[in-house]
Amino acid sequence: MPDVPIVVLYVSEHYLRGLPDERIWSESYQKPFWINLIHGVHSVPLTLLGVLVGLGLAAPELTAFFASALLHALEDLPVHNRDAHRHFLPLSHYRFISPLSYWDVAHHGKTVALVEALLVLVAAGFIWPRVSTPGHAALVAVGVWYAFNYWKTFLR
Ligand SMILES: [Zn+2]
């Protein structure tokens, strides 16, 4: 869920406005609305607060939602270089500039993306027996998406 605003931004700017990728990331992504929204939903304190509210309300779905968002933020922290999020909003605007990137080949992007894809594959194998057919379709879609994007970004 924390990356949904990025998907909405990309789809609207690329497919509706016809902007090239470079302008989307260098201009649209940097606009205050988008950067604050994206960084806000990647906030460790805010997602942790959501977990605590979910626990306080005894709402397991809410707790799981925010725990998932928290894990996403913690996973993003070590794999963003120049595009690092402000993971400690609203307490701090600090950005951890990792030496690793999940996409930038200048910061080991090809290896990091491969490790990430393999971790997703292992996680999918763990989840597979625990979900029904729509869950299997989602897992296959995620696998295809990772494979396509790896090919598009690093192999073509
Ligand atoms: Zn993210």
What pLDDT does 95 receive?
96
Domain ranges for the chain, please list them: 1-98, 99-156
Tokens of 98: 């990792």
What pLDDT does 81 receive?
96
Around ion ligand 1, residues with a beta carbon closer than 5 Å are 2-3, 76
Distance from the alpha carbon of residue 100 to the mean position of ligand 1, in angstroms: 14
Distance from the alpha carbon of residue 5 to the mean position of ligand 1, in angstroms: 10
**104 backbone dihedrals φ, ψ, rounded to 5°:** -85, 115
d(CA 128, CA 125): 5
Distance from the alpha carbon of residue 123 to the mean position of ligand 1, in angstroms: 17
Distance from the alpha carbon of residue 6 to the mean position of ligand 1, in angstroms: 8
Q: Which long-range contacts (CB under 8 A, 24 or more apart) does 5-10 make?
A: 5/34, 5/37, 5/38, 5/41, 6/38, 9/34, 9/38
What pLDDT does 129 receive?
96
What pLDDT does 123 receive?
93
What pLDDT does 138 receive?
95
Distance from the alpha carbon of residue 54 to the mean position of ligand 1, in angstroms: 21
Axis crossing angle, helix 60-76 with helix 44-56, rounded to the nearest 10: 160
Task: Please state the pTM of the whole predicted model.
Answer: 0.83
Distance from the alpha carbon of residue 117 to the mean position of ligand 1, in angstroms: 15
Identity at 14, one-letter amino acid code: H
The mean pLDDT values, 10 residues at a time, for the chain of 156 residues are 95 96 95 97 98 98 97 96 95 97 95 94 95 95 93 92
d(CA 86, CA 40): 8
What pLDDT does 117 receive?
93
Distance from the alpha carbon of residue 73 to the mean position of ligand 1, in angstroms: 6
d(CA 110, CA 31): 28
